[in-house]
């Protein structure tokens, strides 16, 4: 495996844009660059937060889809994805073909009864494991729970993230990031 680059990187020009906010969340150690370690620590955190074992099929699926996503994001194989690489890479097509599968696998980890929806506690657990602050999870959940049934479906969750990433607007994204 290549050693992560230590070359200087350029910070986002506007750290409040959706892509900059997501990139900052991907940079779990806060060093200004998203590394392979940063990416996979999120899966480990979700696994730990949900109490799943290493051999759980959902953990294996999350790792497998994570490997595919990371390979696509780190196209030059240097072990890091700079902000410039990220913004050049991420778009609706990449979300639809790569990101939604990796994010969906993480959603599935948190879906304790595997009914395709998360309650508020499961949602908060997942979002914290992925690097969001606990103090905004309730607002994000409320933004997604349009029918006030106390549940957020996998489809709603992924559609909202897609909308945020692609700039179409997302109340959940605005609340989370």
Give the DSSP letter string of 120-142: HHHHHHHHHHTT--GGGHHHHHH
**Confidence check: pLDDT of 10 > 90:** no
Homologous superfamily of 18-176: EF-hand (1.10.238.10)
Q: What is the pTM of this model?
A: 0.83
Q: List helix spans (H) across the chain.
A: 18-26, 36-50, 57-73, 83-89, 92-94, 100-110, 120-129, 137-144, 154-166, 171-176
pLDDT digits over 63-106, tens only?
Answer: 999 999 999 999 889 999 998 888 888 888 999 999 999 999 99
């Amino acid at each position: 495996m290549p050693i992560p680059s230590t070359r200087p990187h350029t910070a986002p020009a506007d750290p409040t844009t959706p892509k900059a906010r997501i990139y900052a969340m991907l940079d779990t150690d806060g060093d200004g660059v998203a590394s392979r370690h940063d990416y996979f620590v999120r899966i480990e955190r979700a696994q730990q937060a949900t109490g799943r074992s290493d051999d759980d099929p959902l953990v294996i699926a999350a790792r497998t889809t994570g490997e595919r996503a990371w390979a696509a994001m780190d196209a030059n194989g240097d072990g890091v994805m700079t902000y410039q690489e990220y913004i050049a890479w991420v778009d609706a097509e990449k979300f639809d073909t790569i990101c939604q599968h990796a994010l969906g696998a993480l959603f599935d980890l948190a879906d304790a009864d595997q009914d395709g929806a998360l309650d508020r506690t499961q949602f908060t657990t997942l979002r914290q494991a992925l690097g969001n602050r606990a103090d905004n999870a309730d607002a994000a959940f409320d933004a997604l729970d349009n029918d006030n049934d106390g549940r957020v479906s996998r489809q709603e969750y992924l559609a909202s993230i897609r909308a945020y990433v692609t700039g179409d607007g997302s109340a959940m994204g605005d609340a989370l990031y």
